[in-house]
Structure 1
Amino acid sequence: MNSTRFPRTARVRARSDFDRIFKHGRRVALPVLALHFQPDPDLAPRIGLAVSRKVDPHAVGRNRIKRVLRDAFRHVRDELPRGDYVLVARPGASRCSGEELRAAFLSLLKRAAPRPAPALPATAAPGTMPAASPSDPMPDPGPG
């Protein structure tokens, strides 16, 4: 068996899986692609693709989009958090080159990545007034 092949286990195939991801997953979007993501610690990263005739009326164009996105996923799959990813192509995707589609996909993955909670509270932005200390006199509230 060819090791560069995209395995069936790396694909979201069942309609029930697509429905679950659309209903319960997070979504991030760009004008050409939308990414639906649902984490699952028990599953290796899997991808589902939705490219309708509204995106491109010709099967050749739809298949090109899917091929490019599948290949981009294959290259980053080992670095992704476990879970299901569904990419929905939008009509502008048919006018994008392969490299533009890859860049859009990687941009969506970066936006969808969970952000760790900050270890320290945020400090005040430079130029803001410092907090008043207890030894400071109370300002006069004025007439009131």
Structure 2
Amino acid sequence: MALPKANRLKHRDDFSAVFRKGIRRSSANLTLRALRKSADSDRDKHYPAKESEVPSRIGISVSQKVSKRAVIRNRIKRLLRAAFRHLLPRLKKGWCLVVVVKPEAQRCEYQQFLQELEQLLAEAEVLNGHS
């Protein structure tokens, strides 16, 4: 099951902005890039939204360095999307997030991804209750 449409980061220029201007937090298997989008800067051609409720958007990047096999890369993306769905109600509004997967992540299971994501989001102060 996919993330809700409002929570997907899809366009190349949005990914580029997060990589260029965002903060970076790393763990053993994942790297989180996070960029706070203000209500004014979020008014763009890709994601028009009301000022008060700009949803956080999430992108996942799994390169062929992780695995040459698409089956493995897709499995990792499915697990990360499931972990994000679990954490979505706790995310603060207005963030653009990109998770970059490291090659060591091939051997990870859902619980480990969930734990690492929660830790990275707390470090980046993206989770409600962590500031």
Higher RCO, Cα 8 Å, sep 6+: 2
What does residue 24 of structure 1 align with? 21
1:18, 1:102 → 2: CA distance?
Answer: 22
Work out which of the residue numbers 7, 11, 20 in structure 2 matches 1:10: 7
The TM-score normalised by the length of structure 2 is 0.79
Q: How does 1:1-144 map to 2 (within 5 A)?
A: 6-42=3-39, 43-82=54-93, 83-113=95-125, 116=131
1:41-76 Cα offsets, whole Å, 9 max, x none, are 433011000001111111111111111111111121
What does residue 129 of structure 1 align with? none
- Counterpart amino acid of residue 60 in structure 2: L
Structure 2: state its 5+ residue gaps. Answer: 40-53
CA apart distance, 1:8: 2.3
What does residue 140 of structure 1 align with? none
Q: Which has the larger radius of gyration?
A: 1
CA apart distance, 1:6: 2.3
2:2, 2:103 → 1: CA distance?
Answer: 28
1:31, 1:101 → 2: CA distance?
Answer: 10
Number of aligned residue pairs:
113
Q: Is the 8 A contact 1:56 1:62 kept in 2?
A: yes
CA apart distance, 1:34: 0.2
The TM-score normalised by the length of structure 1 is 0.72
Percent identity between the two aligned chains = 36
